[in-house]
Homo-oligomer: A and B are copies of this chain.
Amino acid sequence: MSELVRTGATPVSEAGVDCCPTVLASPLPEDHAVALAGDFAVLADPVRLRLLSLLASATAGEACVCDLVEPVGRSQPTVSHHLRVLSEAGLVVGEKRGRWVWYRTVPERLTRLRQVLA
């Protein structure tokens, strides 16, 4: 039903990826560097990377938490924590249906993160 949209302390839509065309163009200001580092920090975890790839390669392009716990090999609270981090970064979106919450990736954000490294 309701879209589980997380909004962290620094809304992703205003931070990091969205301010600078590329890292190598000009001497990156301090605050932009902090925001961008935050974006990359989200990807700097094996569990989160595996969650992203699991969701992306899922049959319907989405999966519920209960289907992610076992493949990732971590406890359910830990998986929930990482999904929250990914959600706050705008890399995934969760949608609650009945007892389950279905997550899917947001490839556009990954694309924009990619362009920063040009």
Question: Which residues of A are at the interface with B, using a C-beta cutoff of 8 A?
Answer: 23-28, 30, 33-34, 36-38, 40-41, 43-50, 52-54, 56-57, 71, 73, 105, 107, 110-111, 113-114, 117-118
Q: Is the CB of A50 within 8 A of B24?
A: no
A56-B117 CB under 8 A given contacts A30-B73, A33-B46, A49-B36: no
Contact A110 B117 (CB under 8 A): yes
Contact A49 B30 (CB under 8 A): no
**How far in angstroms is the closest Cβ of chain B from A64?**
16
CB atoms of A33 and B54 under 8 A apart: no
Give CA–CA (A107, B24) in the complex, Å: 9
| CA–CA, A94 and B68, complex, Å | 43
